[in-house]
Amino acid sequence: MRKRFMQLAAVVLAFCLTVPSAGAVTTNRNGDVMIRVGLASTNAHVPTGELEAAHLLNEDGYGSGYRFGYYDSGRNFVELARTDASTTAVAVLKTENLYYGRSAALGKDTYSASISSNILVGCWHIQLPGSFSSYEAAQAEASRYNGGFVAWINGQYQVRMGTYGNRTDTEAALAALGQGTIVGTSEYGMSVVETGTSRVLFQYDNGSSGALAIQPDVTGAGETQTWFSGYKYRGGFQYFRRTGGNLSVVNTLELEDYINGVVCYEMGREWPLEALKAQAICARTYVLKNLGKHESYGFDICPSDSCQVYYGMGSLRPDYGPSTTSMRAVSETAGMVAKYNGKLAELFYVSSFGGASEDAKYIWGSDTVNEYPYLRGVMDPYEADLDSANSYSSWTVTYTSAQLTQQLQKAGLGVGTSVSSLDLIYSQLGNVIQVVVHWANGQSSTISASYIRGRFAVPSIRFTVNGAGTGGGTAAPGTGGDISINGSGTVDGLNGKYVISGNGSVSQVGETPYVITGTGTVSALTGGETGDTPHPQPSSGTVTVSGGSYTFNGGGWGHQVGMSQYGANAMARRGFTGAEIVAFYFPGIQIAHY
């Protein structure tokens, strides 16, 4: 998702009607919680599909060389082989005939079956005789042969040589060598090569259950950051051919390293520290609650906004990726999560609400009375502080009647007829939770809250149509409004305003000003907190609109449940802590260490 003003990545988290159960947390021998993030997969929520070849590059001072092996059931890396420290670029290939060259489709040099060049990594090999109890023994034997390499096949070391493209060439090489047998791999095999060459560094085939792991660095560097597909990542990498075809790629890393790779993309990397802390608590809670969400694809969590946006440690852009501030927010909240009744809470967040979040029962049918009471909607008096910075603080979408009909017919509604009128059903918080479309043929279609944004192509469910409101709406606390002065004029809020007392002293207006009416009545001044701007605040009820055009005027962007990121920013600026921000948007939760 593209960054918007102040580098906010607006988040629209997908949520199923039945909340997924949390996967088991896996800690390695050091006690670190390990997370698996899909980087290349056929999963619809992973932007990069499976690959013929997956490249790694490590040349920026964060470790040298690579170790090859696998992750055990505790997510501990088990080493099987390694390169020397001078190896900087490697590629993992499926074991089919692949050529190295320029891919016009991908715009880069890579290995592909469709590229013709003289650099071929063939899938035919000669297996040399002998059994080996260690990598060192196998490597010593392999080094005696031109093109020799070590392979780990079904749990045993082998020594192989050559990468031939067909059996005829392999038979000729075997005859010249005078020993060995012709072999290949199963459809799950993988070869690691030095990028740009046909030199095999290691081959791995452990059948359908096998997954090759690569852990960067052989020198013991304190931190590794390795390039994959244009981004730098901490941790290690896992490769497997899930159905015997192309490669799936997974980034396996410690929990806090993962959170560092989320917070700066889901929220502006230089936003206020306490807002970033709130984001870190939400992101950490979300991933721990959703571990194993994509287990059938071989990883825990996806890298897109269907889960949480994740691009590791950034790219070549100096203003992209974790900042000193965002990493401090992660460090100072390390291990902190939100719980309800002692269990991890289901936390969600969006860019902004336009005035109020919504009860999840209206959006996803969740039980917010007994199971998820913290997912009830709240009035948001804070995010309006940043309306000038939020391009979605107000928005307008206009259709002619014919255009609206066409828009709804894309979803299979109202085929063969046209829109006659709309019934808008508002919640008590002023969000549209249901729309009934009346058609010219006398039929109707009911659109529930979770489908409203998609059906009408609007950013949120907080809107009015053709200016029609429910008639009972008033500005919510903190949402502003003009203030009348002596009946002769107005001011746009109290920010920067001063008063003169009866003894002539001058002071700035306080947080809770009072007014005396002409009849002597004393009451608190309503109309908003300092610096706030007005939002439309329709109340509950039903509004019917019709006509030749339909103009949607609203505010906010997202599914309307959980935490407003702009609201979190505004609260941080007002002095709230990250924990207080999370507690405001999720009433009743407790912040605790996991």
Are 84 and 188 within one domain?
A: yes
Last residue of a domain, one of 246, 275, 290: 246
Across 392-415, average pLDDT: 97
Give the containing element (helix H, strand E) for 491.
Answer: strand 489-491
**Percent of the chain residues topping a pLDDT of 70:** 84
Tens-digit pLDDT profile for residues 211-246 = 999 999 999 888 899 999 999 999 999 999 999 999
Alpha carbon distance 354, 535 (integer Å): 7
For 65-76, the pLDDT digits (tens) are: 999 999 999 999
257: Cβ contacts below 8 Å, ≥ 6 apart: 234, 235
The larger pLDDT score, comparing residue 42 to residue 5, is at 42
Residue 337 has pLDDT above 80, yes or no: yes
Strands 53-57, 77-82: pairing kind? unpaired
Together in a domain, 172 and 285: no
pLDDT tens for 65-124 read 999 999 999 999 999 999 999 999 999 999 999 999 998 888 899 999 988 789 999 999
Please report the pLDDT score of residue 97 as a whole number: 97
On whether both 217 and 138 belong to a single domain, the answer is: yes
Structure tokens at 576: 């709230």
Q: Is residue 493 part of a domain?
A: no
Which of 189, 218, 246 finishes a domain?
Answer: 246
Do 209 and 80 have their domain in common?
A: yes
Does residue 341 have a pLDDT over 50?
Answer: yes
Which among 376, 384, 351, 556 is positioned nearest to 463, based on CA atoms? Answer: 556
| DSSP-derived 3-state class of residue 496 | coil
Same domain, 410 and 547: yes
Q: What is the mean pLDDT of residues 576-587?
A: 98
Sheet holding 463-465, edge to edge: 395-400, 549-554, 463-465
Note the pLDDT of residue 115: 84
- What are the distances in angstroms from CA 442 to CA 415, 419, 438, 452? 13, 10, 7, 21
Write the DSSP string, 293-332.
TTGGGT-SB-SSTTS----TT--S-TTSS--HHHHHHHHH
**pLDDT given for residue 105 in this prediction:** 83
The pLDDT score that the predictor gives to residue 27 is 81
pLDDT at 404: 98
Q: What is the mean pLDDT of residues 330-342?
A: 97
325 with 227, same domain? no
Whether 432 is covered by a domain: the verdict is: yes
Strands 349-350 and 563-564: parallel
* Total of domains in the chain: 3
Tens digits of per-residue pLDDT, 122-164?
999 999 999 999 999 999 999 999 999 999 999 999 999 999 9
Residue 67 within a domain: yes
Domain stop point among 219, 246, 273? 246
Q: What is the mean pLDDT of residues 385-407?
A: 97
Q: Each residue of 174-189: b (16+ CB within 10 Å) or e? A: beeeeebeeebbeebb
For residue 403, count other CB atoms closer than 10 A to its CB.
13
Residue 60 has a pLDDT of 74
pLDDT of residue 538: 53
pLDDT of residue 61: 72
Closest CA to 354 of 402, 387, 330, 401: 387
Whether residue 562 is predicted with pLDDT greater than 80 in this model: the reply is yes
Please state, in angstroms and rounded to a whole number, the distance separating the CA atoms of residues 2 and 300.
24
12 pLDDT above the threshold of 60: no
Question: Which whole number is the average pLDDT over 256-278?
Answer: 97
Strand pairing class (563-564; 343-344): unpaired
Which of 267, 306, 292 minimizes the C-alpha distance to 582? 267
Mean pLDDT of the region 357-378: 96
- Residue 470 is predicted with a pLDDT of 61
Encode pLDDT of 16-63 as tens digits.
Answer: 323 334 456 778 888 889 999 999 999 999 999 999 999 999 977 788
Kindly state whether residue 27 falls inside one of the protein's structural domains: no
Among 101, 109, 26, residue whose Cα is nearest residue 71:
26
Give the containing element (helix H, strand E) for 396: strand 395-400
Distances (CA, A) of 22 to 305, 373, 462: 19, 19, 31
Find, among 194, 253, 225, the residue nearest to 58 by Cα.
Answer: 225
pLDDT at 502 over 90: no
Q: Do 71 and 217 fall into the same domain? A: yes
Query: Is residue 285 located within the same domain as residue 313?
Result: yes
Whether residues 543 and 416 share a domain: the answer is: yes
Q: Average pLDDT of the chain?
A: 87
For the cut 50, the answer to whether the pLDDT of residue 593 exceeds it is yes
pLDDT attached to residue 315: 93
Token digits for 415? 């085929």
- 45, 304 contact by CB (below 8 A): yes
The reported pLDDT for the residue numbered 157 is: 98
Q: Rounded distance, CA 358 to CA 370, Å?
A: 17
Mark 242-259 as b/e (b = at least 16 C-beta within 10 Å): beeebbbbbbbbbbbbbb
Asked if 384 and 426 sit in the same domain, the reply is no
Predicted local confidence at residue 489, as pLDDT: 43
Spatial CA neighbour of 552 closest among 453, 434, 479: 453
Query: Do 231 and 314 touch, CB atoms closer than 8 A?
Result: yes
Residues 357 and 293 reside in one and the same domain: yes
The Cα 380–Cα 584 span in angstroms is: 9
Q: Which DSSP letter does residue 387 get?
A: G
**Residue of 443, 453, 450, 447 lying closest to 419 (CA atoms):** 443
Classify residue 443: in a domain, yes or no: yes
- The 10s digit of each residue's pLDDT in 430-482 is 999 999 999 999 999 999 999 999 999 999 999 999 998 765 433 333 333 34
pLDDT band at 403 (very low <50, low <70, confident <90, very high): very high
Do residues 446 and 378 both lie within one domain? Answer: no
- 139 lies in a domain? yes
Residue 216 is assigned to a structural domain of this protein: yes
Closest CA to 237 of 419, 69, 427, 420: 69
Residue 427 falls inside a structural domain: yes
Out of 203-207, 456-460, 514-518, which region has the weakest mean confidence (pLDDT)?
514-518
Range of the domain at 424: 396-474+535-554
Which residue shows structure tokens 């998609």? 454
